[in-house]
Amino acid sequence: MSRIRDLYLCKNIDDLEKQSELPDVRDRKMKMLLETAKKLIAEAEKYYRQGDEEMAYVFYTKYFSLLSIIYKKRDYNESKPMIRQMLGDNRSNKMTMDRLEMLTKSLSERYDRLNAKNMPDNTILDGTLPTRGSLNSSSTSSLINQERSRSISPKVIEGNGFPASLRLMTSQELYESMKTQKVLIMDCRPSEDYKMSHLIYSLAFNVPQELIQYGMSAGKLQDKLDPESKKLWSARAIKDQVVLMDWSCSDPNPQEGSAIAVLLNILQNWDPDVTYRSPIKILEGGYDYFKMVYPFMCTNPMVQAPTTPQTDLNLIDDIEYPSVFDIQMKDEILNTTTTTTATSPIRPAIDRSSKMAALQTYKEKEKAIEEIVKEQEVLLEKAQENDEELQKVAKQWNSIYDKKQMDPADQEILYKMMQLESVAEDYKLDNIRLREELEEYKRREQQSVTQLPPQQTQEVVEKTKEIEAKIADRLRRDEQLEREKEQRARQLAIARENKKFFQSRQLEKQLQQQQQEQEQQDREPSPPMPEVVQPIKPSIPQFDRSIKPQLTAHNHQQQPQPPQSPNIYALQEKQRDFSPVRGAVGRGLTGLKNLGNTCYMNSILQCLSNTPQLAEYCITDKYKNYISRNNKTKGQIVEEVAALIKVLWNGNYKCVASKDLRYVIGQYQKMFRGIEQQDSHEFLTILMDWLHSDLQTLTVPEYPREPMTASDKAWLDFTKAKESLILHLFYGQIKSIVKCTTCDKESATYECFSNLSLELPENNNICQLSQCLDMYFSGERISGWNCPACKQKRDAIKKLNISKLPPVLVIHLKRFYADTDSLSPTYKKKQNYLRFPLENLNMSPYITISESRRNTTKSYELYAVSNHYGSMESGHYTAFCKSGTYGKWFKFDDQMVTPQDASTVVSSAAYILFYTRLAPSQYITESNSSRL
């Protein structure tokens, strides 16, 4: 919310209620009521953001009055899916109601102060303010002090001349400013909270919340500080910037009465001896958000912010759904998915759905056709380019498919062909979409009341026929490409069988040769037995470790070493074999060699390398302070990952090999030792677990804040009081709710996750990520649940919500599934073209009430994608990553790294999506470069 606007509309809440009355709309249709409600809530949000509390109150009240009418409509039950889609679910309305209650309280207090201010002075002094409750002398004094602070012009800070309208400072901006030592940070949390955890920064100090009071001057507050804090307090006049910080404030105009608001008032209005060099700022999200983004800059980053006691609900689980009827069911989602995805655009194309619904004039109709023509031209041009490239690669493939064994160059041709075939399939679906849009246009044209003049009608008809002809030609070409693709698939299967046959024959020959050699040895006479000599017991050598030479790079072997004891491994500086190919490239743009079907590993490592906070953690060696040597992998996994990320970001090599990392991983998981193709999602899940275990040294306070919620208890049980940066970045928590359909009893359990695995809709070539999320988080009916309230088995609804959103959200798409229809169990791949947003992925509909109250953004931005091309039998992995350094997308295809157009990131090959809600970390600096 911006600065709160002065009262102007009414004199009290009762008058404001009259402004909020609705006309009688009970006889209006449901759709019109929903459209009106949507506009009302939009207006309310707009006024709330502008700081106009009175108008926001009016529109919020009108919205809920209209909502009450909607709930009483006869067709309410049948319209529930449409109501949820347009107005949100019960939780979003609960949040809106909380905001209205807050506005009611704020306006009541402001009207009371305004009326008291307009009373004669003697009335105020006599303590006879006409408020909602009697005021004693101390509250009257407090009110006068508050009005005194408000009477000062909000446009100018007294004695300083700077505008009082504050600009929030982000965590990233503060982190960069801390490097220059020109920012002074005042932490106004309670002193006990500050001792528990605070910034690791020499110019940050605590102004304890318990010392900050209304009516104090800066001088009086300084007198109450300890000697060290007084020295830093005096530096406020000479530092370029002063930043205030509490636990979670994100409002440039903090809530009145809060410690940070009072401190801000003291510095702005009651500090006449100091002229600040720039306006005082507030850290957005407070210490709670900063420690999540930059945990290495905090003394104890896993400390939990205190919860504000509101009601007894803090002592028990939040009741997410008062009734089972408030839960959206999976059946409803599937029905909606089947009917809506067929015509959904699959690329960031022009949305013509609203225009086609109202084709009233010739210009509108002509414009709709022109948009289709333009999009078709781009589509056909790109499809033709892909066809030509595919034809070249197909010719190369035809000349090598019957080889007994492919060499690396041949394998690259096969991978290239898989990617081109996938792109061709995407263009095919695009073409089908255009045809469906054109048919929809023609249908609406026939139903249109407005008839065009004959000449204009003929022009539109000719353009339509031209588009249809091009679509038909492209479809015929797509059919030909499909036949060629099937032929190549058969050839590949034959080549694969030939390879197996060739390998079996080779193995048979080796066995025969070994058998012949053994028979030859058996026929030869045995050598005479040597004389038996009494063995001499060797003496145990004595070592003088005081003269043992230091380990140097010259002593080390070039090959990867097996796991060693923690002490030896920690002491030596391991020499690694990256087999680099020299060549100056951009930082973070180094490729990874394929070591024999290791593309699945390369894809995931590039996605992790482009996770800014993790990359910075490795490049700056901060991870070394948190390595655990007492776990299964003894810290070796994180050391190898960090070493590899460093090399990927030094900008001196075109490509490198991850030999050492692969070797160490193979020691702890046999499936990753050989040259067989593996699943990148399985590798990612195991690697995340290893990295968390290797860094799990951050100790949770022994006595956490009370009372603990069920969610916090489950989190503590999972972490075993030990946390890590990996946990803070990638891990979230799911709340599983089971609700009895008879008594509405709700039971909840919690489970941690490092990625979400989403089902893809069946029988839908085109789908949206939101549909997959809706299916995952929708309700499912279960039977035979032992209801603790009914004391017997009942039918129930099971529903999932996210109780802790991770800063980095990883989404896995379940493309591989078991084919139960075939005679022998086999796995197949879903080729759905999934539309997913590159930015502004809103997770608000899928979170719990408690998570919605947190002061963190619920919007995510895509920064990496792990792709899979081909089938279950033969496939290839690549990665699309957005470089935080260059702000552009790049394609990582093993050792090849090339720029990637953002419009091509969304494809049917997408397998794992990496989203972040954190601001990009500017960790690629000259100091880091020299350190490498």
Burial category of 486 from C-beta neighbours within 10 Å (exposed 0-12, middle 13-18, buried 19 and up): exposed
The two beta strands, 732-740 and 722-723, are unpaired
SS3 876: strand
Closest by CA to 293, choosing from 854, 620, 729, 853, is: 729
In eight-state DSSP terms, residue 757 is E
Residue 917 tokens, joined: 């809600």
Alpha-carbon distance of 13 to 172, in angstroms, equals: 42
Alpha-carbon distance of 305 to 672, in angstroms, equals: 41
End-to-end CA distance of the chain: 44
Residue type, 475: L
Phi/psi at 229 (5° precision): -70, -30
Whether 876 is a known active-site residue: answer: yes
Closest by CA to 488, choosing from 898, 870, 743, is: 870
Closest by CA to 110, choosing from 61, 57, 60, 156, is: 57
Closest by CA to 88, choosing from 326, 308, 260, 318, is: 326
The per-residue b/e assignment along 385-418, b for 16 or more CB within 10 angstroms, e otherwise, is: ebbebbeebbebbeebbeeeeeeeebbbbbbbbb
Burial category of 29 from C-beta neighbours within 10 Å (exposed 0-12, middle 13-18, buried 19 and up): exposed
Catalytic-role residue among 188, 249, 298, 599: 599
Burial category of 674 from C-beta neighbours within 10 Å (exposed 0-12, middle 13-18, buried 19 and up): exposed
Question: What does the DSSP assignment read for 664-695?
Answer: HHHHH-GGGTSSS---HHHHHHHHHHHHHHHT
Give the C-alpha distances (Å, rounded to integers) separating 151 from 6, 148, 549.
12, 5, 77
CB 330 within 8 Å of CB 780: yes
Alpha-carbon distance of 260 to 282, in angstroms, equals: 9
Residue 486 tokens, joined: 């099937």
The per-residue b/e assignment along 150-176, b for 16 or more CB within 10 angstroms, e otherwise, is: eeeeeeebeebebebebeebbbbbbbe
CB 891 within 8 Å of CB 878: yes
Question: Residue 367, CB half-sphere, CA atoms under 13 Å: how many?
Answer: 13
Catalytic-role residue among 249, 607, 876, 881: 876
The two beta strands, 722-723 and 698-699, are antiparallel
Question: What does the DSSP assignment read for 473-495?
Answer: HHHHHHHHHHHHHHHHHHHHHHH
CB 332 within 8 Å of CB 778: yes
CB 485 within 8 Å of CB 438: no
Beta carbons within 10 angstroms of residue 634's beta carbon: 21
**What is the set of active-site residues?**
599, 876
